[in-house]
Amino acid sequence: MLLLSSPMLTAGQQPAATAAQPAVNAPPLVKPWLGRTEEFEDFIRTAPFRRVEELKIGVTRPHRGYFDPGGLVASAAWKVLPPGRPNGYWESYKSEIAAYELDKLLDLGMVPPTVEKSYKGDRGAAILWLDGVRSWKSVEAESKPDKWNLEAVRMKMFDNLIANIDRNAGNLLIDADWNLYLIDHSRAFVTDTKLRNVMTRIDRQLWERMLALDEPTLTAALGKWIDGGAIRAMLKRRDAMKKVIDTAVTKSSEAAVYIK
C-alpha cells in the first residue's frame, strides 16, 4: 500500500504498465483518449496484436502487446489474471476493467482505457500503454506545482472507494504537465470495508459524484466485472468516507477540507 500526502508521497515496485523515460522537454500527454473513449476502446479490443512480449516487472508478470504501426494505439499492457488467489491476494483482470469503468462513471480521467481482449485463446485485460510519462520515483525529489495536491487527493479518494490494497510507486505515472495516471488495479474491489488512505483534503466535485453512486448505477456500469458483494462493499466504504469527511468538516470548516 502507498500512502500519499500532499505535496509528497512515500513510495514503495516497478510499474505493471509503464513506458520509457520521456525525452527532456517532452510535451504533456494530455490524456489523448478523452472525448474519444469508444474509439480507443474499440481499437484496443479488436485490433490484433502483432507481437507480445513478457515484462520482467511486477509480481503478476504482465505482457506488452504491440499493434501494427500507424494505428490509433501503438501498444497495450496485456494482463491474463483469472479471478482467484494464486498469490494469497484476490487478483482478477476484471478488476482492471472495473477500475476503468468506474473512472469513466466518476469522470476522473486518471485510469487509461482498459478493455477485455482475447489473444491466442486467453482472455484478459488490455490497457492502453502510456508513452511520454515518468514513474513516481523519477520525480519524487522534484518540486511540485499546486495542481499536484489535487491529483494526490483524487487518487486517495479513488483508492479508498475501490479498496486498492496495492498502490505503490510503480503504478503511479506522471506526464510533463503533472497529470497523474493510475494503473494496476488487479487486486482492487475486495469486500474489505477498511479505508486504506487517510483523507485530510477532499475534491468536492469528485466527492459529489461519489455521493451520487448507488447499487443500481454501479451494477449497470460494473456488474459484468465485479459481483454484487464487491459493489455493496464499495458503497459501505463510500459511507465510511462520508463519516470521515463530515467529521473533518465539523472539526474545522468546509473551506479547510474541500478543494473546490
Cα gap 25→128, rounded to integer Å: 23
Cα separations (Å) of 119 from 49, 63, 76, 125?
8, 12, 12, 10
Per-domain residue ranges for the chain? 37-259
Q: pLDDT of 149-190, one tens digit each?
A: 999 999 999 999 999 988 988 889 999 999 999 999 999 999
pLDDT attached to residue 60: 64
256 vs 84, residue with greater confidence = 256
pLDDT attached to residue 101: 98
Q: Which of 103, 114, 106, 138 is nearest to 205 (CA)?
A: 106
Q: pLDDT of 133-151, one tens digit each?
A: 998 889 988 999 999 999 9
pLDDT attached to residue 28: 52
Q: 2-6, 109-113, 114-118, 217-221: lowest mean pLDDT where?
A: 2-6
pLDDT attached to residue 58: 62
CA Rg value for the chain: 18
Cα gap 177→258, rounded to integer Å: 23
State the residue for C-alpha cell 480521467: 109
Average pLDDT value for the chain:
88
Quote the percentage of the chain above a pLDDT of 90.
74
Cis peptide before 7 (omega within 30 of 0): yes
Q: pLDDT of 11-62, one tens digit each?
A: 333 333 444 444 444 555 679 999 999 999 999 999 999 999 998 776 667 8
Section 201-223 average pLDDT:
98
Cα gap 92→100, rounded to integer Å: 14
pLDDT attached to residue 84: 85
The CATH number for 37-259, chosen from 3.30.70, 1.10.3470, 2.60.120, 1.10.510, is 1.10.510
Strands 202-203 and 258-259: parallel
* pLDDT bracket for residue 87 (50, 70, 90): confident
* pLDDT bracket for residue 91 (50, 70, 90): very high
Is 80 exceeded by the pLDDT of residue 129? yes
Cα gap 253→165, rounded to integer Å: 30
